[in-house]
Amino acid sequence: MKTAKVALFGLGTIGTGVAKILLQHANQIAHATGQPVELAKICDKDITTQRDLNLPPGLLTNDPDAIFSDPNISVAIELIGGLEPARSFVLRLLENGKNVITANKALLASHGAELFDAARKYKRTIAFEASVCGGIPILNALSTALQANTVQSINAIVNGTSNFILSKMENGKISYRDAVAQAQKLGYAEADPAMDVDGTDAVQKLTILAQLGFGAVVDWKAIPRIGIESVDALDFLYAKELGYRIKLLAVAVQSDGGLELHVSPTLVKADNPIARVQDAYNAVRIVGDSVGPVFFQGLGAGQLPTASAVVGDLIDTVLGRTAITFGALNLWNSGNSLIPIKSPAEFFGKSYLRLNVVDRPGVMCELSGILGKRNISIASMIQHEPVCETSGDSAVLFLTTHEVREGDLVQAILELEESSVVLGSIVRMRVQS
């Protein structure tokens, strides 16, 4: 019986998890694939640090060529992360006849077309379940079981760090800064959590969901994103009054004129399952024309949940299921989008605004005038009494709008911020109808 020889690039947290599963569950995986699956080589630039792992001798190398040039290795797992050298390594793996598995959302969001075209050229495959929502088998569902559907919308919590921070702020009634500190202490946030909290990570994952769900090809940098840095404890109070919770949502929704894509803190009705997703959990709600709404929730990060998805891909690749799916889906085909991407200015939707306004007569008239001339109609508004004396001559105003054209709202926000009635920046979120 032939043995499938597998190489691993990157022995960090996830890589160690993958090695653990492959070494400890070897029998189970051989049973699932019908052949032994051998972890043949591991490449990492650091080959001295002791890992929580009993590696057989001779496995670890810091020479990537030892993998590229080994004709016995048929599958390689890329867990380096980031763009380079991950991109070059994946290209060289494909050139050298190896199927690739990756968890690298940044790489796919930036170079999907190049890598998938290369895989097609060399008749190899790329599998990437772990790149979005860790252990939740969401890409698999979109790629296979839900294929009878035209997908109408995807709403997802794809960044566990942000969801942890927002959950702690909401439940513990603590500040953004304190919640970030808690997340860092518990290992849910990096020392520099910028890519998580500013929406970059979520936007990159959204490009992958949009490719699988809608055949969309889009530059992730062009997707409008609002991070969670400006969310305040006060926002949760007002959202609660209105029956909402606040989640960082990645949204892809099909409407007249194409696909709307955006990432932003969003007021979600409290009875929506996605509103109840707590802590570092991820969740995805897909609406298909036949299946209706389907909801998935699980751990979107962490060593073993992510490794579960990687090894799932490995089993698929060894069995040949990946080759069938890869061929059928024809993903990122030369960068051609199967659906037009809507210009952000043309989005329609409800929004939530928090404004610091000067506390004097006539302010409301001026404010509603600026909104009104752009057809922005206010759905709800509240002005709380100043929280403390230092608030001085300003007041915090919360409002939600009816459905408005994004371009009009952006213009109105700019004009308000330049006006004499608004102090500082306006905090803006979306409201899910």
Contact 101, 75 (CB under 8 A): yes
Contact by Cβ (8 Å): 248, 159: yes
Identify which of 310, 315, 200, 189 has the alpha carbon closest to the alpha carbon of residue 248.
200
Q: How far is the CB of 366 from a copy of itself (least distance, A)?
A: 44
- Which CB atom, from 133 or from 367, has the smaller least distance to a copy of itself? 133
208 binds a copy of itself (CB under 8 A): no
Q: Of 35, 108, 113, 47, nearest to 75 (Cα)?
A: 35
Cα separation of 72 and 56, whole Å? 18
CB closer to a copy of itself out of 265 and 312: 312
Taking each helix axis from N to C end, the angle separating 303-319 and 321-329, rounded to the nearest 10 degrees, works out to: 90
User: Does 41 participate in catalysis according to the annotation?
Assistant: no
Amino acid letter, 327: G
Kindly state the smallest distance separating residue 322's Cβ from a copy of itself, in Å: 10
Q: Is residue 129 a contact residue for a copy of itself (CB under 8 A)? A: yes
Number of residues that bind a copy of itself (CB under 8 A): 54
Whole-number minimum distance, CB 240 to a copy of itself, in Å?
17
Which amino acid is located at 377 in the chain? S
Query: Hey, which residues between 319 and 338 contact a copy of itself (CB under 8 A)?
Result: 319-321, 324-325, 327-328
Contacts (Cβ under 8 Å, ≥6 apart) of 275 = 244, 245, 247, 268, 269
Contact residue for a copy of itself among 36, 81, 85, 137 (CB under 8 A): 137
Could you give the strand order of the β-sheet that contains 99-102, starting from the edge strand earlier in sequence?
A: 60-61, 37-43, 4-9, 73-78, 99-102, 126-127
Please give the torsion angle defined by the CA atoms of residues 157, 321, 254 and 290, in that order, rounded to the nearest 10 degrees: -100
Number of residues assigned to the chain: 433
Is 12 a residue that touches a copy of itself (CB under 8 A)?
Answer: no
Nearest to 297 by CA among 411, 144, 141: 141
* Nearest distance, CB of residue 387 and a copy of itself, angstroms: 30
Instruction: Tell me the closest approach of the beta carbon of residue 14 to a copy of itself, in angstroms.
Output: 11
| Sole binder of a copy of itself in the list 30, 91, 242, 294 (CB under 8 A) | 294
Catalytic residue among 20, 105, 205, 342: 205
Exactly one of 202, 314, 371, 431 binds a copy of itself (CB under 8 A); that residue is: 314
291 in contact with a copy of itself (CB under 8 A): yes
Q: What end-to-end distance do the CA atoms of the chain give, in Å?
A: 56
- Applying CB under 8 A, does 269 fall inside the site for a copy of itself? no
Contact window for a copy of itself (CB under 8 A) among 154-162, 240-248, 313-321, 344-352? 313-321
* Spatial distance between the Cα atoms of 166 and 342, rounded to a whole number of angstroms: 29
Using CB under 8 A as the binding rule, whether residue 21 contacts a copy of itself is answered as: yes
Segment 23 to 52, residues that bind a copy of itself, using CB under 8 A: 25, 28-29, 32-34
- For residue 182, what are its two tokens? 């808690």
Q: Is position 305 an interface residue for a copy of itself (rule: CB under 8 A)?
A: yes
Is position 405 an interface residue for a copy of itself (rule: CB under 8 A)? no
Q: What is the closest distance, in whole angstroms, from the C-beta atom of residue 327 to a copy of itself in the complex?
A: 8
Please report, as ranges, the residues that interact with a copy of itself according to CB under 8 A.
17, 21, 25, 28-29, 32-34, 129, 135-137, 140-141, 144-150, 273, 276, 288-299, 302, 304-305, 307-312, 314-316, 319-321, 324-325, 327-328
Catalytic residues: 205
